[in-house]
Every structure is written in C-alpha cells, then in structure tokens.
Amino acid sequence: MLELEPEHPFEAPQGSFLGHVNIVMFTYVLDGGLSFASGVLIARAVHADGRGAFSLFIISAAILQMILGIGFGNAALYFINKRELALREIMSAAHVVTIGSLVITAALVAAIAPWAGDRVLGDNVSPWLLIAAVPVIVYAGALRILLQALSRFVAMGVATIVQPVVMLALVIADYALGDPSPSRMVAFWIVSNGAAALVSLSMLGVANIDLSQIIKPRWVVLKKLARFGVQGETGNILQLMNYRLDQYLIRGFVSLAGVGIYAVSVSMTEAVWMIANAVAIVLQPRLTSAADDEVRWMAPVAARNTLFIATCAAGALAVVAPVLLPTIFGDGYDGVVPALWLLLPGTVALTGSKVLTSYIFSQGRPLVNTMITTASLVVTLIALIALVPPFGVNGAAAASSMAYAAHFAAALYAYRRISGQPVFEAIVPRPSDARLYTDAFRDVIARISRRPSASAVATTPATPPGPGS
C-alpha cells in the first residue's frame, strides 16, 4: 500500500476542550442569531411561497455539494489528524474538487433545466443559479473543515460568521433599495458563501496552494481522499435526505407555502442543535488524534451532557414558541408552532447522534455511520409516505421526529458494539458531570479577564473519570 508522507511536521490539537467548545458554541449562537434575523426578513418579504422556493434551492445545492464534494472535508480531517497528508497537498486537492463540481453541475443543469423549466424550484428561482452555488459551497465547506481539522476554531468561527453577516447586510440593503424576491435572496446566499470562502482561504494562506498540483493533479492524493471520503459522505448525503426529503414531499403533496411553513419550523428547532454541533466539531479531530483511554471517557461524557443541555433548550423553546413565533413571522406562518412541537423530541435525540457518530468516525468506521443513516432513512421514507398525504406539514414533522429517534437508537447500538461500554454511559448524566459546567464557567470568566483557568491549561483531566464516577 502506498503511503504518502506529510510535507511538514504535524501539530496535534492543543488547548482546552471546553475552551474550544465555548468558542465554537459562541460562533454558532452568533451565526444562529444573524441567520435568524435574515430568515425573518426573508420570510416576511417573500411570504411562505417564496420562503419555500428559497429553502428548496438551498437543499438542492447542498445535496449536489455533498455528492460532488466526494467527502473531501471528512477525509481531510481524518488524514490531517492521522498525520498522513499535508495541508499543502489537501488544499491543492480542494481546488481540483471544486473545479470538478463546477463542470459537473453545469452539465447537469444544462441537461435538466430546459426540460424542467424555471418553476421546478418554485417562484421562478432559476435552477441555472446552481452552477454558481454548488462550487462556491463546495469550496467554502472544504476550507472551513480544514480549519476545523487544524483545531483553529477561532479562525473557523470568523469564517463561519462572515456568511450570515454578509447575507444579512445584503438582505437589509435590498429592503431599503429594491423589491425583495426569492431569486435575489438566492443570489445573496451565493455571494455570502463566496465571501466566507475567501476569508477561510486568507486564514489558511494562499502559500499553501500548489498551482502545479491543480494544473496537474496528484491523483494518488485525490484517490486517497475519495476512497475514505465517499464512505463517510454517503452517510452524510443520506442524513441530509433524512433532514430535508420531507420538504420535497410537502412540495408535492401540500404546497410551496407548506414548504415555507415547515422550513421555518425546522430552522427554529435547529437552534437546539447548536451545542451538539459545537461539541461534535471540537470532538471529531480530538478523538481522531487522542489515545484510547482519553477517547473511552470523553465520548460518553460529551454525549450525555449534550443530550441534557439539548433537552433543557427544547423544553424552553416549546414553552415560548406559541407567543414568540406568530409575533415574529406573522399570520402567514400560523402552522409553525404545532410542527415545531412535533419536531422537538426527534431533534433532541439527534443531538445525541451527532456526538456518537463523531466517536464512530474517529474510530475509522465511516461505513458504520452510513449504515446507521441508511436504517434511519428507511424509517423516514415509510413514515413520510404514511403521514404526509393525510396530515400535511404536521405529518412531515412527526415522521422526521420518528426518523431522528431511530437514528439515535442505531447510533447507540453501534457505540455499544464499538466501545464495549453500556449505552447508559452515553445517556444518563451523573453528579460528577457538574464539574464540566463549573469548568466551563471558569473558562469563560478567565477568557473575559484574560487569565488562564485550570481547565484551559490542561487538555485532559489528570485522572480520567472511571466507570463508576
């Protein structure tokens, strides 16, 4: 087997785990707040039909991104942290993958658009815009994951925040100067992702791009990335379909306005995912490079506390939703609250899945995650076909919640088989976990006062918690 040697020494992830989670969590909160603001403006400006068209375009672009991105990001994260590929090799490969996605998307749209017409996505959002959107988000996503792989979470946060900042600025300007339309909102989304990609590139450094490897690609590197990446990305594509297939069925069985209502419900419940996303992003490179003993205690602690926080957040959202959402979004979105309530139980379950699948990935088992998602997708399809025609938007919400719960159950089973630890280790919080919250609080205070805390100095506890702690 051919081994590729890194071109420079690798530095393992450093710094406080809780500190990194706090950074990523702050990024997600800020990102979520900015995205929520632009989402409200878009929903009010283009109404439910236009919001549905906007959502369908983004979903379609995201699916193409995952397919044409060949799992580049996950593969890069794995091989960087396993010290098997150098940043310069991977960044050069990212440009080859982006160019390939541009060519293939253009060919697909040219073949399909004349037959399907401009209304395939609704409200005259042209599918030709996909030719710009897909390579832009392939490139932006690849560079952002490289920052994650290097555990440069502050830089990743800056690059992440650029997108919603630019998006919100463009939406506000359109309100002031023009007549908002779904097509313009899509164009703003493309531009804002392009801005995020440029910021990521500046953080990584143009010097890490080898033009000769773009003109004459190193196929051995691309094959190595693709061979590993496709295994994991197949699961991600299926998971995205798990998340978003319901909106296509609502488009077919209900209406475009129903898609808009459902998309708003989903966007609200995804606020519960913030902590899970933050933990998973920090956990994945750390677990991949960590020793077995550290992995053994860290994964269940992260899973059970993520579930606990998500449950609290979901309960709070369920209580305030009936007052908050109709006031913010207006009368055209009256169906948002019941759908949100039906989505929340599954959303909480999926936060646990996000952490557990990061653990499974770190053990070099991306195909296991793919099998988990495949099983969940079967539940999704059966439930959607059974529930959407008679119950519409609420049926889609209930079906998605059932599928998310099935995904979590399968992830727990896989975690048990791979780790050999009881599933309750990853579900039930313990009194000793209170230390995590006090350490997190101290870490925040220390950062504010610019003094290192105990939790920021050590990357792991002196004595990892045992099974009975």
> What is the domain range of residue 70?
17-438
Which pLDDT belongs to residue 440?
A: 63
In-domain check, residue 469: no
Is there a domain that residue 456 lies in? no
Token digits of residue 410: 């399968």
pLDDT tens figures, 110-130: 988 777 666 667 767 888 999
CA-CA-CA-CA dihedral for 391, 397, 398, 400, to nearest 10: 130
Residue 352 identity: G
Contacts of 124 (CB under 8 A, 6+ apart): 118, 182, 183
In three-state secondary structure terms, 67 is: helix
In a domain, 464, yes or no: no
Number of domains in the chain: 1
C-alpha to C-alpha distance for 305 and 404, rounded to whole angstroms: 18
Quick count: other Cβ atoms within 10 Å of Cβ 376? Answer: 27
Residue 76 lies in a domain: yes
Whether residue 144 is predicted with pLDDT greater than 80 in this model: the reply is yes
Judge whether 9 lies within some domain: no
Is there a domain that residue 451 lies in?
no
> 458 in a domain, yes or no?
no
Element (H, E) at 384: helix 366-419
Q: Which of 20-34, 42-56, 136-150, 297-311 has the lowest mean pLDDT?
A: 20-34
- Residue 350: pLDDT over 70: yes
Per cent of the chain over pLDDT 90 is: 31
Q: Which of 325, 342, 343 lies closest to 334 in space, CA to CA? A: 325
Does a structural domain hold residue 54? yes
pTM summary value: 0.73
Mean of pLDDT values over 236-260: 82
CA dist 316 and 271 (Å) reads: 11
Q: What is the pLDDT of residue 178?
A: 74
Q: Count CB atoms within 10 A of the CB of residue 320.
A: 9
Label each residue of 415-444 as H, E or C. HHHHHCCCHHHHCCCCHHHHHHHHHHHHHH
- Which one has a higher pLDDT value, 123 or 149? 149
Q: Are 280 and 355 in contact (CB under 8 A)?
A: yes
